Every structure is written in C-alpha cells, then in structure tokens.
Amino acid sequence: MVLGEAAAAVDWLMDKSLVLGYTKIGPAVRRAWWPHDPAPGALVGRHVLVTGASGGLGLATARGLARLGATVHLTGRDAGRLEAARASLLDQEPLAEVVVHVADVSDLAGTRQFARDFMADVPRLHAVVHNAGVMPPRRTTTPEGHELALATHVLGPHVLTRALRPALADGRVVVVTSGGAYGQRLDAADPEYARGEYSGVTAYARTKRMQLVLTELWAGDLAAEGIRVHSMHPGWAATPGVTESLPRFAALTGPLLRDADSGADTAVWLVATSDPIGTGGFWHDRRRRATHYAPVGVETREQVEHFREFVADATREALAGA
C-alpha cells in the first residue's frame, strides 16, 4: 500500500519518536491507513508452526492465526505450559485445530530431529513463525557450547528453517525480532558474546540485529523455492518478555504498552496476507521499516559474509543430511 504524503510523514515521525510508534498509540493511528485485514478463513486448510507459543506474543500469534482458520502448531519447552496455552486457545476459539509439540529451539540437534518428525506428520507447511526468545540474566551456554540467546534466536531458527525447507516450498517464514536491534551493530567478530561484560539485555538486542541480517540472507537463499521470508517487530507490548525481563521499563511505560494481540498483529498479517509484499522485508504495523534507525553502523558486505560463514559452521553438524 502506498501512503499519501501526509500519512507517510506522520507514520515516519511516529516511528522515529519511538513512543508514538511503538506503544498502543501506533496501531490506534495507523489503522486508518494500513493494509486491509486478511480475508476471513484465509488460512483454512493450512498448517502454521509458531515457536515459543506457550504465552505472550507467541500465544497471541497462534490465536490470530487460528481465527483465520489455520491449524496451529505450538512449540515450547514446558509440556504443562503448552497444554495450558492450548486450553486457553480452545476456550477462546472452540473450533480451532491446535497441536502442541515439546521442543527446545536452542538444542540444535534436537531441533533437526523435531523438524524430521514434524514433516512426517505435516508434509506441507504454510508458514513458520520464529517467536521463541530468551533474555538470560548471565552468560549461559547450551550443552552444544553456544551462548543461549544466540542459540535460541539465531542458530536454532536457522536449523529449523533449513530442515523444514521441503515442507515450506512456496510458504512463508516470519521472524519476530525487536526494535532493540536498532541499538546494536552486527558483531560478526564475537557472535558468541565471549568478550566483555555480559548483559542479558545486550545479548538479546545483539541477536535481534543478527536476526535482521539472517532474514535478508534467507530471503535470497530460499527465493528459488518460493519461500518468502520477513521479519517484524511488535513494538512495546505488555507480555512477560517485557514485564518480567524489563520491570523498570514496564513500570514507566505500562499505561501505553500494547496488548499481546496488537503486538502480534503484523506477524499474523505477514502469514496470511494475499498482498504482493515480496520477500526480505522488516515490518512494523504492517509497513516496511528501515533495518537501521539511522545510516550509521551499517554492516559491511564482509561482516555479513563472515556472519553467514559463522552460522553455517555452527549449524553444519546439526544440519548434516538435511
């Protein structure tokens, strides 16, 4: 959708102000000009996989997809929380088809096996939504030796996307990232965050920057198979990821925070829209956004290639035979 000059100017100012664009003010204003909703029943007969869907944005995304008729597959690490999420969805959408899978995306070998088992039951997948997220309070490594935020946000999604390629042909991949990526540059020299004082908030934002780069790489790599790839950020939403991990921020912005459904809206739209939106975009409130807040600190071609090589090397064993 091409905005008129006045709407485009307002939208740009809201985006750069952060508060106007990222809070519940954003969709309240932008709804006047954003693209139309997907048609009712747009996803009937289609399967969509949502990672990290036990609560928060993941559960809200699954709810939005179920309302459009999708069979939604929820993954998470805790069976009890997954069953509670399924019960919550069915309470709100009694006719929904909801399947739960216990899976930890930070476990690269386990993720490859999960994909193999999943495709045996679901040979055609309309979309995968990479929503699983962590903000470790201290540097933690997985049993495979990778920093936890990196494994959860970057390496695991790469394994899952690559492994699901046969089922995803002509499908879609949506990466739920964060506006926090604007505050970090691509660190291709130390992707495991092994140097310097560790901060969970920084680890989260670093890997969200990596997700933006990975989205563009996937878009190029998967285009021949008809797989469209996009990333989006939800703005500031009242979810456990904000209220529990960033309590001071949540206290300051509480009255202005979006609800989870509003935060998930663009992810649902990207999965379901019939609009010709191409591939490789970074979206917020149903509109493409720049991947950098300002044209400084933009990753070089060499840095991107170094990052690509790192991801390939780190996931090679898990993807062997995929």
pLDDT at 1 over 60: no
At 241, the amino acid letter reads G
Predicted local distance difference test score (pLDDT) of residue 250: 73
pLDDT at 243 over 90: no
Catalytic residue among 22, 182, 204, 293: 204
Predicted local distance difference test score (pLDDT) of residue 89: 96
Nearest to 29 by CA among 11, 9, 5: 11
Q: What is the residue-averaged pLDDT of the chain?
A: 95
Predicted local distance difference test score (pLDDT) of residue 293: 93
pLDDT at 54 over 70: yes
pLDDT band, very low/low/confident/very high, at 251 (cuts 50, 70, 90): confident
Predicted local distance difference test score (pLDDT) of residue 4: 85
**C-beta atoms surrounding 95 within 10 Å:** 8
Instruction: Render 230-287 in DSSP notation, one character per residue.
Output: EEE---SB-SHHHHTT-HHHHHHHGGGPBPHHHHHHHHHHHHH--S---SSEEEETTE
Tens-place pLDDT, residues 20-46: 999 999 999 999 999 999 999 999 999
pTM: 0.95
Domains belonging to the chain, first-starting first, are 40-319 (3.40.50.720)
pLDDT at 156 over 60: yes
Predicted local distance difference test score (pLDDT) of residue 2: 65
Share of the chain above pLDDT 70, in %: 98
Choice between 3 and 230, residue whose per-residue pLDDT is larger: 230
Catalytic residue flag (residue 22): no
For residue 264, report the phi and psi dihedrals to the nearest 5 degrees.
Answer: -85, -10
Tokens of 234: 């939800």
Share of the chain above pLDDT 90, in %: 89
